[in-house]
Amino acid sequence: METARVSPLESLARTYIRAVPDNPADDGLFGPDSVVWRINRDRSFPLAGMRSLMVQALHPLAMAGVAQHSTWKQDPFGRLAATSSYLLTTTYGDTASALAAAAWVRKIHVHVRGTDPETGLPYSAEDPALLLWVHAGMVDSIVEVVRRYGRPLDAADLDRYVAEMVRFAEIVGVPREEVPSTVKSLREYLESVELRQATPAAREAIEIVLDPPDLDPDMRALWHDIGQVAVGTLPNWAREMYGFNAPLPELMEREPVRQLLGAMDLAFESLPGVLEARQRIELRTRR
């Protein structure tokens, strides 16, 4: 009997539902009073995730590790689902679940090593410098996208978010003292890294991110528009490395972008179990 085909959005929904626990043993690494709990459930997260991948891919050693040790080409949404599951578990799971997820990631990283064909340099996924780059690209993207298109937050909230997320880097092997703890220091760090370039592997990866397979026509059109917004939120140095043109200003305005994100979120929330998982988070936050 033929197995029913699961759409990319359904795959992400199943991951989301599994990662938000029904009866957690405790409030986990951050807790309901944290800014992390507020920001990591913002509806602008698909846009932040797309931008994050674009920034992270610009470190050739980090990109080589993904290209040589991952099945992302065959299943880009599967990789996105795994990343989303990890982020949700470490945010909303209890302490034991969060630390177990981090231990699993560290176990996988032991085997991710090799040589980047573009620079000739060796890499290891256990290298704190590469882990820090990936962390910074993600956190900076979340901050920038939520600031522009998400829930209202002031500068102090965003600095507090960056500071709270230091723990996120620490559990996968980055020394706490090396992790930027303010928005300003985070961006200074990203701009200070000299080994940045859009390698052929990075360009190929981002082409797939912007135009992934297996989307129905309506979702593909929506995904394409959100991708153009993601390009527009990149820092100038990153956009120039890829050779992307800046999108039209009207495409980047807050309300049209929020409408795009709302349309995607409506499709996501209509899938079985997603609304209930969100309500579980909301109830824990109110308590």
Q: Which residues of 4-24 are buried (b: 16+ CB within 10 A; e: fewer)?
A: eeeebbebbbbbbbebbbeeb
Range with the poorest average pLDDT among 98-102, 108-112, 268-272: 268-272
| pLDDT at position 6 | 66
| pLDDT at position 30 | 97
CA distances from 231 to 7, 48, 103, 130, 228 (A): 25, 11, 33, 23, 5
- Phi–psi pair at 115, nearest 5 degrees: -130, 130
Percent of the chain with pLDDT over 90: 77
| pLDDT at position 81 | 80
Alpha helices in the chain (DSSP H): 8-19, 35-39, 45-56, 60-69, 76-92, 95-109, 128-149, 155-164, 166-170, 183-192, 200-210, 217-233, 236-242, 254-269, 274-286
Which three-class secondary structure state does DSSP give residue 252?
A: helix
Report d(CA 91, CA 20) in Å as an integer.
Answer: 9
* Average of per-residue pLDDT across 100-105: 96
Q: What is the pLDDT of residues 143-154, one digit of tens each?
A: 999 999 998 899
CA-based nearest residue to 164, from 147, 186, 148: 186
* Average of per-residue pLDDT across 25-42: 94
pLDDT at 71 over 50: yes
Q: What is the pLDDT of residues 188-239, one digit of tens each?
A: 999 999 999 999 999 999 999 999 888 889 889 999 999 999 999 999 999 9
Report d(CA 82, CA 115) in Å as an integer.
Answer: 25
* Average of per-residue pLDDT across 76-93: 87
Greater confidence (165 vs 248) lies with 165
Greater confidence (275 vs 72) lies with 275
- Phi–psi pair at 232, nearest 5 degrees: -70, -20
| pLDDT at position 280 | 93
Contact 229, 260 (CB under 8 A): yes
pLDDT classification of 4: cutoffs 50, 70, 90? low
pTM equals 0.94
**Average pLDDT in the chain:** 92
Q: Which residues of 200-218 are buried (b: 16+ CB within 10 A; e: fewer)?
A: ebbeebbeebbebeebeee
Q: Token pair of 184, please?
A: 């300003």
